[in-house]
Every structure is written in C-alpha cells, then in structure tokens.
Amino acid sequence: MYLSAGMNPRLDRTRALLEAALREVDAELANPAGTLCKAQLGTCRDTLRGYLAAVQADALPPKRDRPEGLCKLVIDAWPFEASVSGAVLAAERAFRNA
C-alpha cells in the first residue's frame, strides 16, 4: 500500500480495510449467495461508509465511543464461513483501534 508523506499508517490501513470490506459487501449485495440477509448487508454497508467518512475527514470519535455493532451482527447472525464476514470484522476492529 502506498503511504503519502505525512499520512498516518494506522489510518491508511484502516481506510484500506474499510474499502475492502465495502467492496465485499457491495459484491454480496450485487450477487447474493443467499445466506446473508440483504437488510443486514445494507446496514453493514451504511455503517462501513460512516466509518470510512470519519476516517477520511479525520473526525474519529474517542475510542470508547466507537461502536462494535457490526462484530455483534456478524457473529450472531452470519454463517462463520461467509467470506464477507472476515473483511467486515477486520475493518471494524481496525476502525475501533485507529
């Protein structure tokens, strides 16, 4: 990954993980495998977009105020083998720790 001068590597990694998770969610919505709820995928996409906007605007809330709702959704409602699950979990964890 290319890092611009003055950029924070942790935020760059978070941004990359969020973008990758968004691509996977969008791909699942475009070509559903039938195992994931479209409404949950839509919520996931909207949440990831919000996270990405906060990272891009350098407007991260304090760490204690960063939610972990997607992790709960993925673990509670999605099959473990769903390929999009890992991307979403990694992206939210990166956002939480950025």
For residue 10, give the 3-state DSSP assignment: helix
- Residue found under tokens 């992206």: 91
pLDDT above 90: percentage of residues in the chain: 67
Handedness of CA 88, 89, 95, 98 (dihedral sign): negative
Asked whether residue 48 is assigned to any structural domain, the reply reads yes
Q: What is the CATH number of the domain that holds 26?
A: 1.20.1270
Instruction: Give yes or no for residue 1 having a pLDDT over 70.
Output: no
Query: Measured between alpha carbons, how far is 21 from 91 in angstroms, rounded to an integer?
Result: 6
On whether the CB atoms of residues 16 and 25 are closer than 8 A, the answer is no
**Structure tokens of 66?**
């960063």
Instruction: Give yes or no for residue 17 having a pLDDT over 80.
Output: yes
- Per the structure, the complete domain to which residue 79 belongs is given by 9-97
Domain count, the chain: 1
Output the pTM of the full model. Answer: 0.88
For residue range 31-90, what is the model confidence (pLDDT) as tens digits?
Answer: 987 789 999 999 999 999 999 999 999 899 999 988 888 999 999 999 878 889 999 999
